[in-house]
Structure 1
């Protein structure tokens, strides 16, 4: 696990954020005895992991809201203030949060920065700028979620030794749930004939899921890990041809992306589109009460949606 100390405030944004950093003095962050650890988690997924590991011994501030695309997020002054006051900042990693380093530098934060992706075997990209670091959607393999949770637990143990037994017990319990999830997904996917395990999605966010559960990835509407990548008419025409050629049964829209293009391609290719409540949760969890409100809920919903749509 990579745990590193963040840089002190940089000149960038200094005038705009002077009052924010002034009220965000974290000089007592290392003195956490008897107090909840203040954790800032960047994405909905790592915030959920942090809550499960930290329990009532932590206070988690989640920067990204449900169904908000993380690729092009622009931090607010409130985000900077939360980071300035945090004991621990948890990032998903693999360059998903391109905005984070500058935000941390501007905040004056000097706590612990945890890259939860440390130790994960990262799928490689195609060499373009947005894919240079590899595929950032690591959480779609529950075994990677276990690694991410262990990284978070180790950071909390180091920051608050008095609650180590609590964090470790919570990690053990949550890891058990992730193991059960992995077994359940395997069993559900195995009900599909191998020839029907073909996936077309909004963007290339499910590579780790495809690899773990032996699906065939036919293509994505946005042929990139990054939702901000530009599309071409030729790419869309090629995808329609592949859908027809391979006998794909469904196209899966995603909760954080508009379904309009997916629906147009589905109509042209003559296949159904899973959208609305049947959208997959790709880059983000859903809001409280939704089918993707937690990481465990998200992966169960995605699997049920995929299996039901690809059945005869």
Structure 2
């Protein structure tokens, strides 16, 4: 459903702001296209694969950033307010900018939460998240759920963004969903090399619940016993996790490549075992040219790292 004339005028004024932004680095010609604003860089890459050149996709979160804590500038807030569509993760992930998304929605800007399209999981371990009742927003570690979210995002683009070529968006979405299916199959084949007794995950916070459920892993715990990086572990938390590591025979702790791994290193040393600390791309894409520059690349790189560490 489209908004009225005042909203259209506001969007036109906002487009003039976009022209001057280094945010998107786009030309004046590109800025004339409709604008889809995406909060996280993982969803941004997914959306770009489906939208192609049909709209300008503006991603708010930079590479190697933390979706729980990143914030935006006043200029970026203006882009949100004047978007043709806002794509966000949902599930409380983008804690630093959720108020901006909600404010834009209240003013009539169409929004789509990717989490609304998937079956959510509760946190496997979540003492700080409502005793396991809180939804886990990290659905992208499961390519099958990403495919569901991708189709929902494409549907919102076709519904709310004027001027896009429906056939092009549908074709690009179909191609990308096929690539996601191929990714899931390749992950399954790679993980088959890991013995069931070694499929145990320790991460720096609870981020791999969906991957564990899809591919048959057990989440033993996390350095930060929460679904957000904004929490902090207590001494009792670390002592409890150390005991779990020893009893479960954990051989690797997986740390976010964009976050400090000091606590993970301390935990590995405290466990008194030969435990590797392995960096993964978990909540953000890596920089351009890195092994995690796109969602597909990120998942392939993580699969290889997990398989090598646990095989």
Question: How does the TM-score come out when normalised to structure 1?
Answer: 0.84
Tell me by how many angstroms 1:100 deviates.
3.7
Residue equivalent to 1:274: 277
Q: Which residue of 2 aligns with 1:78?
A: 75
Alignment of 1:156 with 2:157, yes or no, is yes
Say whether the 8 Å CA contact 1:24–1:82 is kept in structure 2.
yes
1:139: which partner in 2?
A: 140
Aligned to 2:85: 88
- Corresponding position of 1:236: 238
> Structure 2: how far apart are the matches of 1:127 and 1:232?
12
Q: C-alpha distance in 1, partners of 2:264/2:2?
A: 41
CA distance in 2, matches of 1:105, 1:189: 39
* Matched residue SS, 2:185: helix
Q: What is the alpha-carbon distance in structure 2 between the residues aligned to residue 84 and residue 177 of structure 1?
A: 33
Once the two structures are TM-superposed, the CA of residue 25 in structure 1 deviates from its matched residue by 6.7
Is residue 11–residue 83 contact of structure 2 (8 Å, CA) maintained in 1? no
* TM-score normalised to structure 2 length: 0.85
Q: Which ranges in structure 1 are unaligned for 5 or more consecutive residues?
A: 10-19, 27-33
The change in CA–CA distance for 1:45 and 1:274 in structure 2 (over 3 A counts) is same
Alpha-carbon contact 2:268-2:277 (below 8 Å) kept: no
Counterpart CA distance in 2 for 1:166 and 1:141 is 26
- Contact kept in structure 2, 1:117 and 1:147, CA below 8 Å: no
Whole-angstrom CA distance in 2 between matches of 1:176 and 1:21? 35
Query: Deviation string for 1:110-152 (max 9, x for gaps)?
Result: 3311112223111124585577641000111001101111111
**Aligned equivalent of 2:46:** 49
Deviation track 1:79-136 (CA, whole Å, cap 9, x = no partner) reads 2021123111100111112344421455686331111222311112458557764100
Instruction: Report Cα offsets for 1:222-252 as digits up to 9, x if no partner.
Output: 1110111121101101111111111111111
What is residue 110 of structure 2 aligned with on the other side?
112
Q: Is the 8 A contact 1:4 1:113 kept in 2?
A: no
Q: Deviations over 1:194-231 (max 9, x none)?
A: 11111111100000000000011111101110111121
Q: Where in structure 2 are there 5+ consecutive unaligned residues? A: 17-30
Question: Is residue 189 of structure 2 the alignment partner of residue 187 of structure 1?
Answer: yes
Residue in 1 that maps onto 2:247: 245
Q: Are 2:257 and 1:259 aligned?
A: no
Whether the 8 Å contact between 1:21 and 1:81 is mirrored in structure 2 is: no
CA distance in 2: counterparts of 1:151 and 1:287, whole angstroms = 27
- Note the alpha carbon deviations across 1:276-298, whole angstroms, 9 max, x for none: xxx11111111111111111011
Q: Is the Cα–Cα contact under 8 Å of residues 128 and 225 in structure 2 kept in the other structure?
A: no
Structure 2 vs 1, CA of residues 267 and 66 (structure 1 numbering), >3 Å: closer, same or farther?
Answer: same
> Residue 198 of structure 1 corresponds to which residue in structure 2?
200
Instruction: Find 2:99's aligned residue among 98, 102, 111.
Output: 102
Q: Does the Cα contact within 8 Å between 1:39 and 1:88 map onto a contact in 2? A: yes
Deviations 1:144-203 (A, max 9, x none): 101111111101111236511000000100000000000000111111111111111110
